[in-house]
Structure 1
């Protein structure tokens, strides 16, 4: 984690210990310590322990301020996962371990609301690796196996998402496809659709939009009996890929279908946790983005402005991303002063968030504003 590396560097500098002296005290090489402190190598538990001992400070003091979501991620990164705890005990895989992993996925997913992909990816990768190892080597009942494979699928989707946010697109693709296999083995067609749909979203952004549209439609078709909010998410990805492909009629038709499908939701229908964030504001943001792609920025502006106003300030990355789209809507409508002002707001909001996706978006909008 790049931020954890900077915290280790700050602690070393505060103690007035040079990198060379730190290498002597920890028995790690000076080049390795430099890579850790600059975020070019992943900080592991043994590295934090070494800094703690060398500087004579508690581990707790090296992880950042209390209550910070990033601190939570740091604490998880340097502590044992549920899988490691289970492995140490040598017990057969049972429902308690799977329940712990299911809870862990939800907590990690919620952390993604506050932490950029560059910082979160090492932690998710660690959790995914452990879950995959248990699924491969553990002994369990058929029902437990299905739950465990679903955990692997959900962690794979999250790993792909944060890897993509970190600009690690090949790793994201690998994670998504790995997750599809797990979801299919678990018999979860909706989750398989979510994974393929997530891959289509990445392809629409950094690959071939026409191929992305085909994949998004396939994902939606394969999960055609999914719950309404899941269907809404899958159709949104179809609309985005169609808009990126400049297929005006198809994109507008799909956006209408998104609205109709979302209206079918019901408190009586249980939705998977991974669509917890899907709401009217998110639908308006995607509609606004599609309208910009379809050369109708004036219609996009009120949708984006209204949605942005509903977000809590703590959701820094999303607010900044959506502000970048609002800035683009202004720029493409010829309102350059408003575009630059909004873009400056996005840059201020996003300070300190390690998201390659966000950085790329802001650079794109700078070119047109």
Structure 2
């Protein structure tokens, strides 16, 4: 784009600060209201010409629209980009060793934990750059076979994260491409549980915005193919199968899958090693997914206590996830006829969504607001 990247949320904030509606900005540019709305919600990527058009319409400089350097989150993300292990190691030679693999393994953990509090529209450019750099190392550098396997695993984990944050940013086609690239890397490394994680992540996206029946097929394949998966990994894969089944309105399959999730999770123990990428899956997350499935199946009365109890357990820095879960709680309230509680709950989610930089959350809030209006 040239200059600093500008998020859709930044354009929206500048427009609102200028007191202009989308219609007014559309009238001052060559872009339609619908396109501008997609830019601001992250459904479309912001390009240089969009930033220039906003600067002219709002009568501000392009520099004003660019993310301020004093933003601590932006500074942290820029530090990560400038300190890419793959770039630093390959700059001193094409032969790479264990130190690069170790740094990439640490980096993917750092980025994964950033996702707890940073929305996809802000985090995706950073993760995508890291993934691109790592993929280039695998293609171009030379290394011993054991190092090659570790690099492939790091690439596939980065791909899963990049696909996840791309989907959160509303870039669904890009997310699918990245998930499939990661699946190939995991298969080449012989990591079947990780391949299952990538396939089930894609299933989750398709269940939300595509064909739930197709999603269920992918999710079932992930469960079946992830031979040797640890208990918590198996619980995660089964959760996504339960969700795809619920979205398909398959009551029986959903209940069986949710029971299997509980069984798998309860079988975990300190003596069984789990991959770091399932660090976030706990009892509250499992209850949230069960509650969401019950809402989809029309059993809102069963969903409400599960969702309420789980939401109360989350720390404040997980604002995006709590807001997402509140949309399901609002949906449950609405389906049981408690519209006052539904409206109050979705209002809390809407307030959180304003600073979350998550198209997934924006879309969900809009959807529920329409049902309780």
Interval containing the TM-score (normalised by the shorter chain):
0.7 to 0.9
User: How many equivalent pairs are there?
Assistant: 328
Instruction: State whether structure 2 residue 18 is matched by structure 1 residue 2.
Output: no
1:76 Cα deviation after fit: 2.2
2:253 alignment counterpart: 250
> Which residue of 2 is the match for residue 64 of structure 1?
70
Structure 2 residue 333 is matched with structure 1 residue 330: yes
| 1:129 alignment partner, one of 106, 129, 132 | 132
Are the structure 2 counterparts of residues 37 and 76 from structure 1 closer, same or farther at C-alpha, using a change threshold of 3 Å?
A: farther
Aligned residue runs from structure 1 range 153-172, under 5 A? 153-172=156-175
CA separation in 2, counterparts of 1:284 and 1:316? 18
How far, CA to CA, are the matches of 1:288 and 1:37 in structure 2? Answer: 44
CA distance in 2, matches of 1:310, 1:245: 29
Q: Is the 8 A contact 1:153 1:183 kept in 2?
A: yes
Q: Are 1:176 and 2:179 matched, yes or no?
A: yes
TM-score between the two structures when normalised by the length of structure 2: 0.83
CA distance in 2, matches of 1:105, 1:32: 29
Q: Distance in 2 between matches of 1:224 and 1:295?
A: 33
Q: Kindly state the Cα deviation for residue 80 of structure 1 after the two structures are TM-superposed.
A: 3.9
* Structure 2 residue aligned with 1:271: 274
- Is the Cα contact below 8 Å between 2:90 and 2:96 reproduced in 1? no
State the Cα distance separating 1:75 from its structure 2 match.
Answer: 2.6
- Give the corresponding residue for 1:58: none
CA RMSD of aligned residues (A): 2.4
Contact 2:94-2:140 at 8 Å conserved across structures: no
Structure 1 residues not aligned, in runs of 5+:
11-30, 40-49, 56-60
Q: What's the counterpart of residue 28 of structure 2?
A: none
**In structure 2, do the counterparts of structure 1 residues 100 and 37 end up closer, same or farther at CA, with 3 Å as the change threshold?**
farther
* Pair 1:73 & 2:77 matched: yes
Work out whether 1:199 is the aligned partner of 2:205: no
The 2-side partners of 1:188 and 1:88 are apart by 29
Classify 1:350/1:170 alpha carbon distance in 2 versus 1 (closer, same or farther; 3 Å): same
Cα 1:175–1:36 shift into 2, 3 Å: farther
Mark the CA change 1:138 to 1:227 in structure 2 (over 3 Å): closer, same or farther. Answer: same
Higher relative contact order (CA 8 A, sep 6+): 2
Cα deviation code 1:77-136 (max 9, x no counterpart): 3x1411111122115110001111111100000000111111111111100000000001
**Deviation readout 1:128-158 (Å, 9 max, x if unpaired):** 0000000011100110000000011001101
Are residues 1:84 and 2:90 paired?
A: no
Match for residue 188 of structure 1 among 191, 194, 200: 191
The answer (yes or no) to whether the contact 1:157–1:179 under 8 Å persists in 2 is: yes
For normalisation by structure 1, the TM-score amounts to 0.84
Contact 1:244–1:293 (Cα < 8 Å) also in 2: yes
2:154 is the counterpart of 1:151: yes
